[in-house]
Amino acid sequence: MGRDVLHWLLRWQLPVKVPLLDLQKQNAELEPRLTEAFGRVLKSGRFIGGPEVESFEQAVALLLGVSHAIGVSSGTDAILLALMALDIGPGDEVICPSFTFFATGGCVARVGATPVFADSCPVCFNIDVADARRRVTDRTKAIIPVHLFGQCADMDAVMSLASDHKLAVIEDAAQALGACYKGRAAGSIGVCGTFSFYPSKNLGAFGDAGMLVTNDAEFASKARLLRNHGAEERYFHKKVGGNFRLDPIQAALLSVKLEHLESYSRRRESNARYYTSQLTGIEGLRLPEAHPYNRHIWNQYTLRVPTRREGFREFLGSRDIGSEIYYPLPLHAQECFFPLGSIRLPLAERLAAECVSIPIYPELTQDQLNAVVEATREFSLS
Binding range to ligand PLP, per CB under 6 A, among 26-34, 97-105, 303-311, 355-363 = 97-105
Which CB, 170 or 375, lies closer to ligand PLP?
170
Which candidate, 294, 281, 301, 291, places its Cα nearest to that of 355?
Answer: 301
Q: Which of residues 349-368 bind ligand PLP (CB under 6 A)?
A: none
Q: Does 146 bind ligand PLP (CB under 6 A)?
A: yes
Binding ligand PLP by CB under 6 A: which of 41, 56, 75, 127? Answer: 75
Q: How far is CA 42 from CA 35, 36, 60, in A?
A: 10, 10, 23
Which CB, 84 or 369, lies closer to ligand PLP?
84
Q: How far is CA 195 from CA 36, 102, 205, in A?
A: 25, 15, 12
Residue 117, φ and ψ in degrees, nearest 5: -90, 135
Q: Does 172 bind ligand PLP (CB under 6 A)?
A: yes
Which CB, 74 or 376, lies closer to ligand PLP?
74
Which CB, 72 or 371, lies closer to ligand PLP?
72
Binding range to ligand PLP, per CB under 6 A, among 45-53, 168-176, 228-236, 341-349 = 168-176
Q: What's the CA gap between 13 and 242, in Å, rounded?
A: 55
Binding range to ligand PLP, per CB under 6 A, among 24-32, 101-109, 181-189, 341-349 = 101-109
> CA end-to-end span of the chain, whole Å?
36
Find the shortest distance in angstroms from Cβ 105 to ligand PLP: 10
Contact yes or no for 213/190 (Cβ under 8 A) = no
Contact yes or no for 295/346 (Cβ under 8 A) = no
Contact yes or no for 272/151 (Cβ under 8 A) = no
Q: Does 101 bind ligand PLP (CB under 6 A)?
A: yes
Binding range to ligand PLP, per CB under 6 A, among 70-78, 216-224, 248-256, 303-311 = 70-78
Q: What's the CA gap between 255 and 6, in Å, rounded?
A: 46
Q: What's the CA gap between 359 and 323, in Å, rounded?
A: 7
Binding ligand PLP by CB under 6 A: which of 125, 198, 219, 361? Answer: 198
Find the shortest distance in angstroms from Cβ 108 to ligand PLP: 12
Build a one-symbol-per-residue string for 262-281: x at contacts with ligand PLP by CB under 6 A, - elsewhere: --------------------
Contact yes or no for 166/158 (Cβ under 8 A) = no
Task: State the alpha helices, DSSP H only, in 111-260.
Answer: 129-134, 155-165, 217-227, 248-258
Find the shortest distance in angstroms from Cβ 297 to ligand PLP: 13
Q: What's the CA gap between 377 and 311, in Å, rounded?
A: 13
Binding ligand PLP by CB under 6 A: which of 76, 126, 215, 376? Answer: 76
Q: Does 104 bind ligand PLP (CB under 6 A)?
A: yes
Contact yes or no for 276/298 (Cβ under 8 A) = no
Binding range to ligand PLP, per CB under 6 A, among 49-57, 99-107, 121-129, 369-377 = 99-107
Contact yes or no for 125/118 (Cβ under 8 A) = no
Binding ligand PLP by CB under 6 A: which of 80, 155, 174, 364? Answer: 174
Q: Which of residues 222-251 bind ligand PLP (CB under 6 A)?
A: none
Q: Which residues make up the interface to ligand PLP (CB under 6 A)?
A: 74-76, 100-101, 103-104, 146, 172, 174-175, 196, 198, 208, 210
